[in-house]
Structure 1
Amino acid sequence: MKELEYAILIMMMKNGVIILNVLKKFNCYLIIISMILILSVPVYAKSPNISGASGILMERNSGRILYKNNINKKLPMASTTKIMTALVALENGNLDDIVKIDKNSVGVEGSSIYLYKREKISLEDLLYGLMLRSGNDSAVAIANHIGGSVDNFIKMMNKKAKKIGAYKTNFTNPHGLHNNNHYTTAYDLALITRAAMKNKKFRDICKTKLWVSNREKNKYFYNKNKTLWQYGGGDGVKIGYTRVAGRCLVSSATKDNMQLIAVVLNDYSWFNDCYNLFDYGFKNYTPMVIYSQDQYIRSIPICNGKKGYVPIVAGKDFIIPLTDGEKGKIKTIIKSPENLNAPVSKGQKIGKIEAYLNGNLIGSAPLLTNRDIKEKGTFDKIMDYIKNIF
């Protein structure tokens, strides 16, 4: 009997070791499985917080909004006004123009490049003084030169704003000194900046740290925008401040072939907030090529043409910033006519490609014809008629 009890005890001990080993292995597997599950859970980037009344982060190429906070709230924008002043001047003036300074451009309130009556200065120097030193006197001189008067120049500014799509913006002056009817939104200001940044000379001015003007005195214009020194890849763009508007900043930075525009209005932590927005954008988004410029899209039938079809291509590089989780979820729609009538010219815009993410439009690119198609002549039409008979 005792021998049987010993045998049972030994078996229980052996089974206990086996069970213990199994449990140890099982726990090990549980730990491994838990780690896999934890690592496979998608990590969502935390959206940054800003201290300003409104703010936006926009990718320049596509115009996609990567961050937004009260972006349609109408607010004063102080000297960030001068982005539009510079854009209108660059599109309507000649950099080599020599501007004779009148009394109305002297002694303007606020920031100044210290113009003096009857001074002769180039439009180029005035633009650098406008953007780097935020000269209000420079803004008035530019407005008088380009528009013939400040009032007419303001009309040009407002017309350009509507053309860009900045429908909630109204300018009453070219410099940004406070007026109750002088306002914009973070979204509109990003649109205006995006349009301005397409101009190479504007980009060159914004990223210049020091400009030596062709003047006898007050010739050195140092850029007030600390983005150029403090943030890697910083491109400018413009700072602004009035007591009512608070601290306003439009900044731009470029990394890995992606340029971001950050706008904050009435923000006491203006530079830090813009830098945090940049960090968020560059960390979480990468540019993805949807279509390349001149990439073949499809062919469209031609009526009465010497060729039966014309190929259409993407009119520009179609690149959109995406998070890792968004890649593979883009849907594109080709919007083009079913057919075209000859003649057709190469480069003719005939539609567009639209990209959608989760049902929302996030970008578009034009569609162009990539060759000339001549209309059939009388002889061609006769031959077609004969072929149809026989």
Structure 2
Amino acid sequence: MRKILAVLLLFCLLLPAGLAVAMETPDVTARAAVLLDQETGRILFSKNAHERLPMASTTKIMTAILAIESGRLDEMVTVSEYASLVEGSGVDLDAGEQKTLEELLYGLMLRSGNDAATAIAEHLAGSVEKFARQMTRRAGELGAAQTRFENPHGLEAENHYTTAYDLGIIAVYAMSLPEFREVVATSEKRISWTGRPYDRILYNQNKLLDMYEYADGIKTGWTTPAGRCFVGSSNKDGWGLVSVVLNAPQMWEDTIELMEFGYSYYHWEPLVEEGRHLKTAQVERGTADRVTLVAGNDLGLPLKENEADVLRYEFNVAEPLRAPVSAGDEVGTMEVYFGTQRIAEVPLVAASDVGRRGLFGALRNFFGRLF
């Protein structure tokens, strides 16, 4: 046995660096999990990522998205009796109590208030059922095609489900909203308590904010059918990751392991700078025959070692362009492929103006070419 162990140890030490890292793939307890890059949505790790599962209170991420997108956070909401009596975790809202939509948003995300979720749904859509349909529709628009909501809070319902991947892309979008990022990064929030001489103090239930130095969100969840669920986010040196673990007995440990895997196994590679000359395009009937196309924004990707060498770039421009063309016009895209998978794109914009050629210019160009 000692000889066998010695041989195995020697074998591990002699493994190429790439293989040694590959053996450290996270062994998470979650039934389903995914790790995504926040900027590009690239999948860095997955486990049963497309399996339909209940998601408990991580449902509230979509509720928060619709509340923020409504643009009505300053509106006053009157809590209905139905909302005040919803079971499960809550903010202890009283029937008839008035709260701003923003206060309810904090109660929703920090305290996981089912009463706050219901009050938000009724205020924005008139009923829980109508709001749930809006949630499902918005999820589909974000690319979460295997997600369906029946309520705004995540209590058990037969046709209330998502996948780790769907929930991940919903969370990636949520973290692009400044108001959402501010709420989920808040450790403690004081909101009013009507009829009492003191305020409610809401403490964030997301322990990852204290457990992991790069954590900056997002949401916990638990029901008996769903198990322990958590959507987490982190930012290290400006590089953001989102993780999802569903039915995860050790959800905090799983999340930290996923985050560390992402930051250790991948590196952020800047590929294109905004304004960089990428190609020229033909212009029809213009004062110039061609126009320079530049990158409309910066582009970077999380890549493993040596992956940058195998990336493939394709230009999608409908040439010839028809004059006039104005500087800054978006006229196409440069798509980035890893093998056959398209993983990113950058818009192509015109670097200068190209006017439309008049009759005299057209004749001059014709005879110039003729002779």
Calculate the TM-score normalised by the size of structure 2: 0.89
Contact kept in structure 2, 1:114 and 1:218, CA below 8 Å: no
Query: In 2, Cα distance between the equivalents of 1:159 and 1:369?
Result: 35
Matches within 5 A, 1:148-187: 148-187=126-165
Query: In 2, Cα distance between the equivalents of 1:93 and 1:321?
Result: 33
Aligned amino acid, residue 289 of structure 2: G
Query: In 2, Cα distance between the equivalents of 1:306 and 1:346?
Result: 14
Contact kept in structure 2, 1:113 and 1:218, CA below 8 Å: no
Aligned amino acid, residue 44 of structure 1: V
Give the alignment partner of residue 67 of structure 2, picking from 78, 89, 99: 89
Contact kept in structure 1, 2:192 and 2:199, CA below 8 Å: no
Q: Deviations over 1:336-385 (max 9, x none)?
A: 22221123344433322222334433322222334444433556556656
- State the aligned residue count: 356
Give the alignment partner of residue 222 of structure 1, picking from 189, 203, 219: 203
Contact kept in structure 2, 1:107 and 1:114, CA below 8 Å: no
Aligned amino acid, residue 55 of structure 1: A
Give the alignment partner of residue 124 of structure 1, picking from 90, 102, 107: 102
Q: Deviations over 1:66-91 (max 9, x none)?
A: 11000000000011011111111111
Identify which range, 107-116 or 229-238, moves more after superposition: 107-116
**What SS does the aligned partner of 2:165 have?**
helix
Give structure 1 stretches of 5+ with no counterpart. 1-33
Contact kept in structure 2, 1:206 and 1:235, CA below 8 Å: yes
Query: In 2, Cα distance between the equivalents of 1:154 and 1:61?
Result: 27
Query: In 1, Cα distance between the equivalents of 2:104 and 2:352?
Result: 44
Query: In 1, Cα distance between the equivalents of 2:66 and 2:143?
Result: 15
Identify which range, 89-98 or 355-364, moves more after superposition: 355-364
The alignment's C-alpha RMSD in Å is 2.3
Change (3 A) 1:100 1:345: farther
Calculate the TM-score normalised by the size of structure 1: 0.85
Give the aligned partner of residue 12 of structure 1: none
**What SS does the aligned partner of 2:259 have?**
helix
Larger radius of gyration: 1
**What SS does the aligned partner of 1:208 have?**
coil
Aligned amino acid, residue 21 of structure 2: Y
Contact kept in structure 2, 1:294 and 1:315, CA below 8 Å: yes
Aligned amino acid, residue 140 of structure 2: K
Identity %: 39
Within the alignment, does 1:339 sit opposite 2:320 as a pair?
Answer: yes
Within the alignment, does 1:271 sit opposite 2:249 as a pair?
Answer: no
Within the alignment, does 1:62 sit opposite 2:12 as a pair?
Answer: no
Give the aligned partner of residue 5 of structure 2: none
Change (3 A) 1:375 1:241: same
Give the aligned partner of residue 7 of structure 2: none
Q: Deviations over 1:187-245 (max 9, x none)?
A: 00001001111111111111110111244455211100011110011011000011111
Give structure 2 stretches of 5+ with no counterpart. 1-9
Give the aligned partner of residue 204 of structure 1: 182
Query: In 1, Cα distance between the equivalents of 2:222 and 2:50?
Result: 20
Query: In 2, Cα distance between the equivalents of 1:366 and 1:323?
Result: 24
Cα drift, residue 326 of structure 1: 2.3
Contact kept in structure 2, 1:82 and 1:175, CA below 8 Å: yes
Q: Deviations over 1:80-133 (max 9, x none)?
A: 011111111111232212222222321211111111222221111111111111
